Amino acid sequence: MRQRKTRLSISTALVASTAIIAGLLAASSASATDRPEGALRQAADSIHDAGAVGVVLGLHDVRGSQEATSGVSNLTTEAPVQPDSRFRAGSLTKTFIATVILQLTEETDAQGRPLLGLDEPVVSVLPHLFPKDSVQLAAKKTITVRQLLQHTSGLDDAEGATQGLVPPPGSSPSQIKKFLATPPDTDRLIAGPLKGKLAFLPGSKDSRGRPNMLYSNTGYDIAGKLIEAVTGHSWSHEVSTRIIDKLGLHDTSIPDPGARRTLPGPHAQGYEVIPGMDRPLDVTDLDRRTWVGAGGQIASTTADIDAFYAALLTPGRLLGAQQIEEMQSTVPETAGEPGAGYGLGLEHVPLTCDAGKPANARGYWGHTGRVLGYQTLTGTTPDGRSVTLSINGVRPVRNADGTIDQDKSRQRFQNTVNAATKAIDQTLCGEQ
């Protein structure tokens, strides 16, 4: 999950060339010689210097793969972060969810009827979703599947949902740890937005004629319920069988609600500066069910994430060309980078090196992720160049007496976000 005010920014543009992306996939074992290794390491170091605890930065293109790291995976042992470290990918999960939804729109039931339609009202699949005493019930019944995926439904996480994600103000350190270790009730998290006031009418436009958009984790929790209603299986089962297993993403996982909460395999500890704590809190296992629902639970590696987005943008691997085009039809992202747009679980961000390129070769496609302890950014250009980075927390700024300066620590977090965004741009625009 992530809050838009502290989000890493990320990308989107047009369907990439099948031949070029296929070349990317086929080159997974290619030699990484003659690569700009120094530049990649400098990019990772720049994010660490800005304040990150540890950084893993992966670059993948037709010549093969390369990773660079900077910083540590554990503040106690000071062990260096490893290139194959697992991390919580947060809202990158939304791209996986949108992919499954789009697959379902192309499938039919025993009577030959489509399982799901992008412009189908959600209430037609989940008739009891909105309570009868819900505010603006008639408007909510018009919310479509597309609007959930594109954040144009008007559902507002602030209507009760966010209180279930962060510790109550004034909590003591022990209360904070207990809160984070307690599994949340996803149904309760979405109940507030479902009953509360909409931020705007579904599918409406602002005073300048642009589609209204408000990033909504609730919308993707509902999308997960749509998958379950249509398939009869959990959304995690469908994502696993349709994407993770199909692509052989062996280092990607979705936590079992009854399993151990720690990250599988080698991983960096995730740290968060939380008011009331005298040191960064290790939240690797204090996970709020790692993390809540269909909006942000996946854990992965830079290599697996790049492989997923490369396959996603290759017609015929996960989606057909028409479905990819639907996914890449964007609305302006008012809270994102200038010129950024949001499609169906997929973002597009322009690059500083776009000048002179044709429209279908500009920018990059991907998503960002933000959960306690981890930040992730990924982007894939139309010519098949992919970059994914993960940060396992930001070092706090301390006052002279050793206490944490919350304001300066928040600024350091933003500085780290800015450095990460710049590093992605420079890496994708760098030597080809």
pLDDT at 164: 59
**DSSP string computed for 77-120:** T-PBPPTT-BEE-GGGHHHHHHHHHHHHTT-B-TTS-BS--TTS
pLDDT tens digit string along 84-103? Answer: 999 989 899 999 999 999 99
Query: What is the radius of gyration, based on Cα positions, of the chain?
Result: 21
Contact yes or no for 13/339 (Cβ under 8 A): no
Q: Per-residue b/e over 346-374, b at no fewer than 16 CB within 10 Å? A: bbbbbbeebeeeeeebbbbbbbbbbbbbb
Cα–Cα distance measured from residue 203 to residue 186, given in angstroms and rounded to the nearest whole number: 25
Say whether pLDDT at 325 is over 90: yes
pTM over 0.95: no
Contact yes or no for 95/376 (Cβ under 8 A): no
pLDDT tens digit string along 289-309? Answer: 555 677 778 899 999 999 999
What are 408's two structure tokens?
A: 């300066």
Q: Residue 109's pLDDT band (boundaries 50, 70, 90)?
A: confident
Q: Residue 19's pLDDT band (boundaries 50, 70, 90)?
A: very low
What are 325's two structure tokens?
A: 């085009």
Cα–Cα distance measured from residue 339 to residue 393, given in angstroms and rounded to the nearest whole number: 28
pLDDT at 170: 73
Residue type (1 letter), 376: T
Burial of 29 (0-12, 13-18, 19+ CB in 10 A): exposed
